[in-house]
Structure 1
């Protein structure tokens, strides 16, 4: 049974471990070793995670007491992050987090949700009726990443 709750500061060690492990094991099929190393290093910036938890709509999915996924929303309708534990892929966790995020966007009176998604995540979002607005290249810590701007209207 998947339980959803707000993230707390005390969850950061488990959140950052999930973030790092998901990128290292799941995203590695679509990105180079250098990309993965740089991207996964985002787990080390604890101040950023604290700010996300304190300032954004940040939810967790748990099974028993294990965090199996998380998602966060910025500025009312920008879906800034969705990660599912590497050992819990394809079990409906991402879909459940997405539905709750989308509900929050609608409750905030927005008609569109937007996100930047990785090559790995694109099929998931495509399957959930998100439209690709454009392919882009983003620079992060001196490395260029290819990803996609997607959106969905309600």
Structure 2
């Protein structure tokens, strides 16, 4: 009997996220921060960070200024998402707490990098959590600076990371 989990990314489809997805994106963001990122942040820090997703108009503003890609399971539920600004700022990369380690973040990152190259973006920068730093480092991103970034009420440690995309 094979004890390894199958590669579930074969069941995943990718599509642009829209304003109708906001409730699902918001829930995924909050639950991921509160369950996954709490490994590297205190419960108080994680709760403060998660509360940023509850600001009125926050998601609508993000949808108006960013290109979002959603990863959906076979039933159409969003299991991950990423977003990028036209200047190459990677704003978000979150995978559902129940779908960690399935290759979804890697697939999302490949798609957002391809989108960036198609739109003439040569450098991607991001503010990356302690939790996500190893993931991004394995994919060629380099820490430019450690910082204390404002979440809601608190300042949390994260890293400004950058990757220069290879021209095709």
**Greater alpha carbon shift after TM alignment, 100-109 vs 111-120:** 100-109
* SS in structure 2 at match of 1:60: strand
Compute the displacement of 1:54 (Å). Answer: 2.8
| 1:136 alignment counterpart | 147
User: Following the alignment from structure 1 to structure 2, what is the Cα–Cα distance between the partners of residues 141 and 131?
Assistant: 26
Q: How does 1:2-151 map to 2 (within 5 A)?
A: 2-64=12-74, 65-151=76-162
User: Following the alignment from structure 1 to structure 2, what is the Cα–Cα distance between the partners of residues 44 and 140?
Assistant: 12
Structure number with larger C-alpha Rg: 2
User: Following the alignment from structure 1 to structure 2, what is the Cα–Cα distance between the partners of residues 134 and 24?
Assistant: 25
Gaps of 5+ in 2: 1-10
User: Kindly tell me: are residues 12 and 92 of structure 1, through their superposed partners in 2, closer, same or farther at Cα, counting changes over 3 Å?
Assistant: same
User: Following the alignment from structure 1 to structure 2, what is the Cα–Cα distance between the partners of residues 112 and 106?
Assistant: 9
Do the aligned partners of 1:76 and 1:105 also contact (CA within 8 Å) in 2?
no
Post-superposition CA distance 1:83-140 (Å, at most 9, x none):
0000001111101110111111112212211111000000100110111111111122
Gaps of 5+ in 1: none
Do the aligned partners of 2:52 and 2:151 also contact (CA within 8 Å) in 1?
no
| Count of residues in Structure 1 that have an aligned counterpart in Structure 2 | 154
Do the aligned partners of 1:76 and 1:108 also contact (CA within 8 Å) in 2?
no
